[in-house]
Structure 1
């Protein structure tokens, strides 16, 4: 990296313990802005090193990993080795930020949870990215882009009237979560500049994707209007099966990247049990989908989810906005907020998806009316009443 130019985050050091997309894209963006990002990997490397899109590699390197990890340095540390874990703690002591996106509870088991880090390094800003947050009934579910798309309500806004719920081809949930995590990290760094103390930043994918649909959700929550698809109109073209949406007996279910032989055991199908490798699954993706399209309608979504969750497979329901509003996890985590609006009265909005361990991020002021705060703002910056009157007469404010 060139040292001849100044970057906004020069001097900031980030320990990136994350894998796949949401965490790495956050750390990459911080690196793009000048941070010294140190990517900590297990001896075998992180997941995307061995699971590239379309089995595509450039000179042996996974394109999936290449696309998310520029402006980083990599170090291999096996945190399951106590001595190596101590090395990681020494490295963390030189840093400003620790970023991880393990399943909830995993970091604590490894000895690198927030409390374990903060006890030794109170200056650290510690960011945890999760699928559904660290509390609520769904805290232990796996968080993955497609699964969160399913519960986000967004699939009902895509495709034709006769199509099943359609997932987006972009990894938008992961990417948006990574960007929100970066915002949370930088906010906590700014606060640390004043207090000298770090804190924990928590960002979960479901809250983020609700926040990113704020226009749609505000329309639904306040006008009771659901998206209505037109007459005219697939999942990601490069992702291994069974990645996609499937009709069940009573609704729809989403299945993410799964070991096909384990899935075959769960759904009791010998054809799927026989497919044990990633490459074979890729080659037989159409056949796998056709088999599942026949199997999944034999049970309800709830019945399948009980079976698939028991097998620890990535699966989830496909929600409408109404399903989300009624969901106990949404209620338990306060993912929908109410605020007073000057002309509407009670206004309901998706809650802020970033949470801190010591600070507060909340909705304090409703969306303003046109020019609602012009007077107070101009007065605050010292514009005289006479000048304000003159500007108003000319229609300039």
Structure 2
């Protein structure tokens, strides 16, 4: 582990599973924290056990994507000896992150109120769907549920179609990211005060937080925002257009300068000169007409013929990339954001690493752990157990 990273020396006990919590703790690990993932013996994080991707059957690639750069200990929280060892880990930790159903941590004797008695400076982060308290606290909540209740689905999709989910676990990752941010800020406070705190992060609340900038229309004007597909409610033209070879391109004109540049790139300067379209408000009034004009013009040539012209005019447009194209993008390669590590069970495991140019962060990325592979060395590192005592624990676990 690189001792020069931002969170080097910070110890995190990780009780999380699936996406929201593991994403949070992975972010902390990428910043240098020593993250110890506590998993159920023989079972582990449920994400280990979902079917593999086609051609990767038997390999937990989804789990691996959010659990690199951590250590795994397999301890049974129902076993008194194991439970005591976990409490000792927390005694020596700076941070606990959990995403149990609200009330579970308290029920198993590992909630904040109990743990702050053994570690006053402990930062304890709980991530859940709706928060630890309130009328919805005990409701089951996964990403699709929070996408629905947060309102983001209502503004995603075509105007005449049904609400649509984002194509990835948006609310899980947003909650995890906010959790990591909250942990780091709480650590700064605790270093000054010597006293920790309980951070109650809800997926619902985190989504409302990031949606706030676009909810101003509803908050301030009482207008319920409608779906507009790939269009932008405030900017015209803004849409995905298909070229002659059916390749998708997103075009977006945020002001008159961009509109004039687009007209030059499309070789129709007369559009920019037409007083009917010379302000954004007028272009909004003629939204459908303008989009039809741009679509027809763009469909006359292949995308490869248009792109040099758009680049010359510095227009805000780009090909709509699929995941493979996004990973292969030359800017991603330049910034060396992708890392690969050899795994004893899963072969070469690729990771989307830290979006910082400092190479130290991605050089410090380590492969995802196998279930419980670090139990003995964590007990020795954190608790000062000798090899015999830690091996005895493993024998009891396996016996």
Regarding TM over 0.5, the answer is yes
Cα distance per residue 1:46-97 (max 9 Å; x no partner): 1100014647747x43011110011100000110111110010111122110
The DSSP-based 3-state class of the residue aligned with 2:13 is: strand
Partner in structure 2 of residue 175 of structure 1: 173
Cα distance per residue 1:349-395 (max 9 Å; x no partner): xxxxxxxxxxxxxxxxxxxxxxxxxxxxxxxxxxxxxxxxxxxxxxx
Tell me: CA distance 1:176–1:46, structure 2 relative to 1, closer, same or farther (3 Å): same
Residue 60 (structure 2) pairs with residue 48 (structure 1):
no
Partner in structure 2 of residue 16 of structure 1: 14
Cα distance per residue 1:100-122 (max 9 Å; x no partner): 00000111111111111111111
> 2: CA distance between counterparts of 1:132 and 1:53?
30
Task: Tell me if the contact between 2:12 and 2:35 (Cα under 8 Å) persists in the aligned partners.
Answer: yes
Residue 64 (structure 2) pairs with residue 90 (structure 1):
no
The match for 1:163 among 158, 161, 177 is: 161
Q: Which moved more, 1:62-71 or 1:219-228?
A: 219-228
Gap runs ≥5 in structure 2: 232-399
Alpha-carbon shift at residue 225 of structure 1 (Å)? 1.9
Q: Which has the higher contact order (CA 8 A, sep 6+)?
A: 2
Tell me: CA distance 1:42–1:194, structure 2 relative to 1, closer, same or farther (3 Å): same
TM-score by length of 2: 0.55
Tell me: CA distance 1:232–1:108, structure 2 relative to 1, closer, same or farther (3 Å): closer
> 1: CA distance between counterparts of 2:230 and 2:186?
46
Tell me how large the CA RMSD over aligned residues is: 1.8
The DSSP-based 3-state class of the residue aligned with 1:40 is: strand
Partner in structure 2 of residue 61 of structure 1: 59
Partner in structure 1 of residue 5 of structure 2: 7
Partner in structure 1 of residue 144 of structure 2: 146
The DSSP-based 3-state class of the residue aligned with 1:202 is: strand
> 1: CA distance between counterparts of 2:210 and 2:121?
31
Task: Tell me if the contact between 1:78 and 1:84 (Cα under 8 Å) persists in the aligned partners.
Answer: yes
Task: Tell me if the contact between 2:217 and 2:225 (Cα under 8 Å) persists in the aligned partners.
Answer: no
Q: Within 5 Å, which residues of 2 pair with 1:59-208?
A: 60-208=58-206
Task: Tell me if the contact between 2:148 and 2:154 (Cα under 8 Å) persists in the aligned partners.
Answer: no
Gap runs ≥5 in structure 1: 234-397
> 2: CA distance between counterparts of 1:56 and 1:206?
35
> 2: CA distance between counterparts of 1:15 and 1:192?
17
The DSSP-based 3-state class of the residue aligned with 1:20 is: coil
Tell me: CA distance 1:230–1:10, structure 2 relative to 1, closer, same or farther (3 Å): closer
Q: Within 5 Å, which residues of 2 pair with 1:1-397?
A: 1=1, 3=2, 6-43=4-41, 44-52=43-51, 54=53, 57=56, 60-230=58-228
Task: Tell me if the contact between 2:52 and 2:59 (Cα under 8 Å) persists in the aligned partners.
Answer: no
> 2: CA distance between counterparts of 1:56 and 1:178?
29
Tell me: CA distance 1:187–1:52, structure 2 relative to 1, closer, same or farther (3 Å): farther
